[in-house]
């Protein structure tokens, strides 16, 4: 019925595909037991035992020893049990080996079905386990097809397919079959359709991994990314920080002649990147986050976690950005609500309001920023385009 070739095949599966043979045997025993009961009657208590060492299969029926028999299929009297073995006691089970002559064909069919099903299931689980290690990682993929804007890619060193929805693509990007594309593995999940892998190029995780890839000091932890805010396809603000006095975090990210940041920008399809040096001082951090606009002063209200920023009149549209983009990204980066006002609209009385803390920032350097709240109040963007 099941010969040594069958058990040898299980050994081969274990060696070649790292699939546990014991798991197969337990599953098969359960399936064969169920098949046997269906053939000879569900009421009968039975079990199937596989012996890989002897390459044999045995079927046992068993009955519980009771004082008074009510179910002959599952129970046996103590007197009858003692005829088989004198040491039997109430509550014990009497095992009897059954003939497998008529069960051979059904057993072989069941074994084949179970092995094929279990093989697919375990291969899927192993693939999922291996792929789960790739979650939150950057991978190079090959475009397989484009279906109404949804791009399907093949993950490197794998037959697994990743899905990149239109919302996960950088606006304006075009993909052709065969293109090699870097993606960020956003989520891996198992479903009735199989393993589903969601990849993206539009979220902040993609930017973070690109920085780690291109800037060794970030990969090693010498320079840290404190936060990122992004409007994919337009502008990204990255706040960086280091506690090493001999390292310039901005210069490190820019690289010699801008090579490092240019490589990242090219991968982001020309997206603008503002590098901002993080500060524990919210006044300084907010001012830098509004780069490339020059900031005159910053006021903060701790209880409302809001701020008011004063900028030169001719820099108002630059600080706000096209459609409010710059101030919105700065708010996300810092976590503060930001209200931008032109210098001419602020009276002396307003500047001296006691509930605000005020600092003057006369530095002409360009700043940039990352996380927070997108809420904008009393901001009217001018017609000028953002730099």
pLDDT for 319-345, tens place per residue?
999 999 999 999 999 999 999 999 998
345 and 210 co-located in one domain: yes
- Cβ atoms within 10 Å, residue 221: 9
100 and 229 co-located in one domain: no
Pairing mode, if any, of strands 46-51 and 235-241?
Answer: unpaired
356 and 274 co-located in one domain: yes
Average pLDDT over residues 227-238: 96
What's the pLDDT tens digit per position in 267-294?
999 999 999 999 999 999 999 999 999 9
- Structural domain contains residue 386: no
- Domain that residue 143 falls in: 138-199
How far are the Cα atoms of 2, 26, 369 from residue 103, in angstroms, in the given order?
Answer: 11, 19, 74
CA distance 276 to 239: 5
350 and 235 co-located in one domain: yes
- Structural domain contains residue 282: yes
Three-state secondary-structure class, residue 65: strand
Out of 77-91, 94-108, 119-133, 201-215, give the one with best mean pLDDT: 201-215
Placement of tokens 């991994």 in the chain: 209
Cβ within 8 Å of residue 96, ≥6 positions away: 60, 61, 62, 63
- What tokens were used for 134? 């790739």
Q: Specify the CATH number for the domain of residue 59.
A: 3.30.1480.10
pLDDT score for 289? 96
164 and 212 co-located in one domain: no
> Which ranges of 55-203 would DSSP assign to H, the alpha helix?
78-84, 104-132
- Cβ atoms within 10 Å, residue 21: 16
CA distance 320 to 51: 76
209 and 353 co-located in one domain: yes
228 and 305 co-located in one domain: yes
What's the pLDDT tens digit per position in 156-197?
766 778 899 999 999 999 999 999 999 999 988 766 666 778
108 and 171 co-located in one domain: no
- Structural domain contains residue 375: no
Q: Specify the CATH number for the domain of residue 162.
A: 2.40.50.140
Last residue of a domain, one of 159, 174, 199: 199
Count of domains forming the chain: 3
Last residue of a domain, one of 154, 182, 199: 199
- Structural domain contains residue 376: no
Q: Residue 361 phi/psi, 5° resolution?
A: -125, 100
- Structural domain contains residue 292: yes
Q: Cis peptide before 292, with omega less than 30 degrees from 0?
A: yes
Q: 100: pLDDT confidence band, cut at 50, 70 and 90?
A: low
281 and 317 co-located in one domain: yes
52 and 100 co-located in one domain: yes
Q: 203: pLDDT confidence band, cut at 50, 70 and 90?
A: very high
Q: Which one has a higher pLDDT value, 320 or 367?
A: 320
- Structural domain contains residue 231: yes
pLDDT score for 318? 94
33 and 105 co-located in one domain: yes
Residue 215 zone, left/alpha/beta (φ > 0; ψ -120 to 50; rest): beta
pLDDT score for 121? 75
Name the average pLDDT for the chain.
81
Q: Residue 306 phi/psi, 5° resolution?
A: -130, 165
- The answer to whether the CB of 237 falls within 8 A of the CB of 368 is yes
CA distance 164 to 152: 6
pLDDT score for 354? 34
Q: Specify the CATH number for the domain of residue 339.
A: 3.30.300.20
- Structural domain contains residue 81: yes
- Structural domain contains residue 194: yes
- Sign of the Cα torsion 29, 32, 34, 36 reads negative
125 and 153 co-located in one domain: no
């Amino acid at each position: 019925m099941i010969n040594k070739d069958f058990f040898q095949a299980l050994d081969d599966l274990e060696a070649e595909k790292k699939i546990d043979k014991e798991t197969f045997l337990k599953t098969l025993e359960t399936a064969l037991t169920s098949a046997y009961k269906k053939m000879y009657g569900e009421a009968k208590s039975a079990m199937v035992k596989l012996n890989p060492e002897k390459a044999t299969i045995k079927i046992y029926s068993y009955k519980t020893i009771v004082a008074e028999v009510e179910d002959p299929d599952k129970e046996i009297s103590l007197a009858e049990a003692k005829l088989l073995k004198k040491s039997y006691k109430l509550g014990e089970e009497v095992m009897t080996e059954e003939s497998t002559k008529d069960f051979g064909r059904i057993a072989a069919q069941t074994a084949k079905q179970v092995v094929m099903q279990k093989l697919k299931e375990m291969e899927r689980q192993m693939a999922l386990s291996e792929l789960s290690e790739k979650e939150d990682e950057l991978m190079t993929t090959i475009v397989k097809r484009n279906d109404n804007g949804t791009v399907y890619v093949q993950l490197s060193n794998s037959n697994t397919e990743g899905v990149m929805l239109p919302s996960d693509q950088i606006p304006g990007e075009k993909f052709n079959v065969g293109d090699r594309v870097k993606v960020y593995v956003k989520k891996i999940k198992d479903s009735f359709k199989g393993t589903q892998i969601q990849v993206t190029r539009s979220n902040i995780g993609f930017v973070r991994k690109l920085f780690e890839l291109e800037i060794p000091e970030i990969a090693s932890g010498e320079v840290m990314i404190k936060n990122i805010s992004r409007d994919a396809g337009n502008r990204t603000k990255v706040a960086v920080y280091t506690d090493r006095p001999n390292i310039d975090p901005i210069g490190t990210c820019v690289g010699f002649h801008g090579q490092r940041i240019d490589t990242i920008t090219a991968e982001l399809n020309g997206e603008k990147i503002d590098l901002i040096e993080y500060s524990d001082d919210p006044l300084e951090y907010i001012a830098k986050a509004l780069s490339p606009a020059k900031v005159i002063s910053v006021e903060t209200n701790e209880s409302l976690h809001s701020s008011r920023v004063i900028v030169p009149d001719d820099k108002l549209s630059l600080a706000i950005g096209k459609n409010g983009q710059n101030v919105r990204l700065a708010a996300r980066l810092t976590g503060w609500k930001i209200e931008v006002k032109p210098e001419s609209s602020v009276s002396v009385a307003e500047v001296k309001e006691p509930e605000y803390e005020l600092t003057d920032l006369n530095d002409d350097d360009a700043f940039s920023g990352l996380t927070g709240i997108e809420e904008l109040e009393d901001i009217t963007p001018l017609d000028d385009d953002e730099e």
